[in-house]
């Protein structure tokens, strides 16, 4: 049996880290088992779905390297959902309901006041044909609920272990809205049956959906797939989500993070493995094991993503970096320059700052001309190496008596025109004696 998984983002916004983590875990699971990965766009919400967001989802997944084996949109499949609706109506598992939102809210409040769970009372099942016609004559259009069987719903979860829901404590879900649009709960099952999805891996906020959907699979004649529910991402402030500052992938990309930084972090957060940078998706696949994911909430730490990106760049060979450098307009950066600076950058774009400091005119700041003149006279002869900066500053210290900030800050300002910036011993070596002397003068 070929393993088949899918992710199903809605094109109502940019992908955030929670979406991508789910997608990445599905992709890794598929590749680990030589399976297939599908991308489905859940775009039945026509009011909120946007083509620009649909395009961005594809672009961002492609940027991360998460290529899919199949692609489809739910908006192209209304005929299939209608056929499923008719099948459920015919076998008595779908029934029309006429309550308004206000009437349902009153029912929920009454049940809550009596200490009862907000389970739908199935009063619509008791309506006569005459009562239904009367409602429709009033202009009411029915929504449709799925009739759950009063039995335990049990499955073995890939992450949570054995899960059990009591059918009597679960409310009959609405599957079709008054306007005829199928809801996620139905459409997703229809898609998963037709595309032969074998494993559904998603956030633990879908656990109750799974309990309901297992019975929908069975009612439509499909075997329920295996399920796994990932613990949600959290921050120090609480739950991480798109609405609560979850951070979209487009934003992280624009900030200069490497795709493998994001893949490395999201592929390991919430597992028993240490979080470390992976140079490639193949290496990440090789280390992947679904059993390593725990049930505790995974803590998303932006500072850890920063550190991971810096570490990844420190160990990145030039052959891997040059395509990204070219995309930033840094075609002139060669291997020697990269090897000199990549241990001192946090984002790939920082290379541009180094390049400008070395190769473009810099207006230095000289506050003490006598001190700078003394320093210039003490410049060591070439060739220089990574120890040349220390040799020079020690000589200046011995000659002038200056030390600490009083020694280093005037030299930095004279050579860079800034009070902060790259590590000076590397910059000093890259500049060479002629450029250093020119800037000191």
72-103 pLDDT tens trace: 999 999 999 999 999 999 999 999 999 999 99
Q: Is residue 339 part of a domain?
A: no
The count of domains in the chain is 3
CATH number at residue 121: 3.90.800.10
Tell me how far apart the alpha carbons of residues 264 and 284 are, in angstroms, rounded to a whole number: 7
Helix, strand, coil percentages, rounded to 5, for the chain = 50, 15, 35
Same domain, 54 and 193: yes
Tell me how far apart the alpha carbons of residues 183 and 85 are, in angstroms, rounded to a whole number: 11
- Average pLDDT over every residue of 226-251: 75
Tell me how far apart the alpha carbons of residues 322 and 335 are, in angstroms, rounded to a whole number: 9
Same domain, 198 and 298: yes
Tell me how far apart the alpha carbons of residues 162 and 158 are, in angstroms, rounded to a whole number: 9
Give, in order, the Cα–Cα distances in Å from 290 to each of 27, 32, 61, 93, 295: 12, 10, 21, 35, 12
Q: Is residue 337 part of a domain?
A: no
- Average pLDDT over every residue of 297-306: 92
Same domain, 55 and 93: no
Same domain, 49 and 86: no
Is 76 exposed, middle or buried, given 0-12, 13-18 or 19+ CB atoms closer than 10 A? exposed
Same domain, 41 and 131: no
Same domain, 187 and 299: yes
According to the model, what pLDDT value does residue 357 have? 87
Domain boundary among 153, 176, 199: 176
Percentage of the chain modeled with pLDDT above 90: 80
Domain boundary among 176, 193, 212: 176
Same domain, 308 and 191: yes
CATH number at residue 407: 1.10.10.350
Q: Does residue 399 have a cis bond before it (omega within 30 degrees)? A: no
Rg (CA), the chain: 31
Distance of CA 422 to the CA centre of its chain: 31
According to the model, what pLDDT value does residue 244 have? 41
Same domain, 276 and 208: yes
157-172 pLDDT tens trace: 999 999 999 877 889 9
Six-digit token pair at 366?
Answer: 């000289």
Same domain, 14 and 41: yes
According to the model, what pLDDT value does residue 363 have? 87
Find out whether 26 and 229 touch, Cβ atoms under 8 Å. Answer: no
CATH number at residue 13: 3.40.50.620
Same domain, 228 and 299: yes
pLDDT at residue 288 tops 60: yes
Give bridge partners of residue 239 from the DSSP assignment: 234
Parent domain of 378: 361-440
Angle (deg, nearest 10), helices 424-440 and 388-400: 60
Same domain, 433 and 402: yes
Q: Is residue 292 part of a domain?
A: yes
Tell me how far apart the alpha carbons of residues 304 and 308 are, in angstroms, rounded to a whole number: 6
Domain boundary among 115, 148, 176: 176
Q: Is residue 335 part of a domain?
A: no
According to the model, what pLDDT value does residue 392 have? 96
338-368 pLDDT tens trace: 988 998 899 999 999 889 888 888 888 999 9
Tell me how far apart the alpha carbons of residues 249 and 394 are, in angstroms, rounded to a whole number: 46
H helix runs in 114-258, sequence order: 129-137, 184-194, 207-219, 249-255
According to the model, what pLDDT value does residue 115 have? 81
188-208 pLDDT tens trace: 999 999 999 999 999 999 999
Give bridge partners of residue 72 from the DSSP assignment: 40
pLDDT at residue 243 tops 70: no
Same domain, 167 and 233: no
Q: Is residue 351 part of a domain?
A: no
């Amino acid at each position: 049996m070929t393993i088949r998984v899918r992710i199903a983002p809605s094109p109502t916004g940019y992908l955030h880290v929670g979406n991508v983590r789910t997608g990445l875990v599905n992709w890794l699971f598929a590749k680990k088992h030589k399976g297939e990965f599908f991308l489905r766009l859940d775009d039945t919400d026509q009011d909120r779905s946007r083509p620009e967001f649909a395009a961005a989802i594809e672009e961002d997944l492609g940027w991360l390297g998460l290529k899919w084996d199949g692609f489809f949109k739910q908006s192209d499949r209304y005929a299939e959902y209608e056929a499923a609706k008719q099948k459920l109506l015919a076998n008595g598992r779908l029934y029309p309901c006429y309550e308004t939102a206000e009437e349902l809210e009153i029912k929920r409040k009454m049940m809550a006041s009596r200490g009862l769970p907000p389970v739908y009372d199935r009063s619509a099942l008791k309506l006569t044909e005459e009562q239904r016609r009367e409602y429709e004559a009033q202009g009411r259009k029915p929504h449709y609920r799925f009739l759950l069987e009063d039995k335990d719903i049990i499955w073995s979860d890939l992450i949570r272990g054995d899960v059990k829901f009591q059918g009597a404590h679960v409310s009959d879900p609405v599957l079709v809205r008054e306007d005829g649009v199928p809801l996620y709960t139905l459409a997703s099952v229809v898609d998963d049956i037709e595309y032969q999805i074998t494993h559904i891996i998603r956030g633990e906020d879908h656990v109750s959906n799974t309990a309901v959907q297992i019975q929908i699979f069975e009612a439509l004649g499909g075997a329920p797939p295996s399920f796994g529910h990932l613990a949600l991402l959290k921050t120090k402030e609480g739950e991480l989500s798109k609405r609560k500052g979850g951070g979209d992938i487009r934003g992280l990309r624009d900030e200069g993070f490497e795709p493998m930084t994001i893949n490395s972090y999201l592929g390991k957060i919430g597992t028993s493995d240490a979080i470390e940078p992976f140079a490639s998706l193949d290496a990440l696949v090789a280390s992947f094991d679904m059993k390593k994911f725990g049930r505790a909430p995974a803590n998303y730490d932006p500072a850890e993503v920063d550190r991971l990106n810096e570490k990844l760049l420190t160990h990145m060979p030039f052959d891997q970096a040059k395509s990204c450098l070219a995309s930033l307009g840094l075609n002139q950066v060669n291997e020697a320059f990269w090897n000199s600076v990549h241990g001192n950058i946090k984002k790939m774009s920082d290379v541009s700052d180094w390049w400008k400091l070395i190769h473009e005119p810099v207006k230095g700041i000289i506050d003490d001309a006598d001190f700078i003149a003394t320093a210039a006279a003490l410049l060591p002869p070439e060739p220089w190496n990574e120890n040349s900066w220390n040799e020079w500053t020690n000589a200046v210290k011995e000659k002038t008596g200056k030390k600490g900030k009083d020694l280093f800050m005037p030299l930095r300002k004279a050579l860079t025109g800034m009070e902060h910036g790259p590590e000076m011993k590397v910059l000093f070596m890259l500049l060479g004696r002629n450029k250093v002397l020119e800037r000191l003068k």
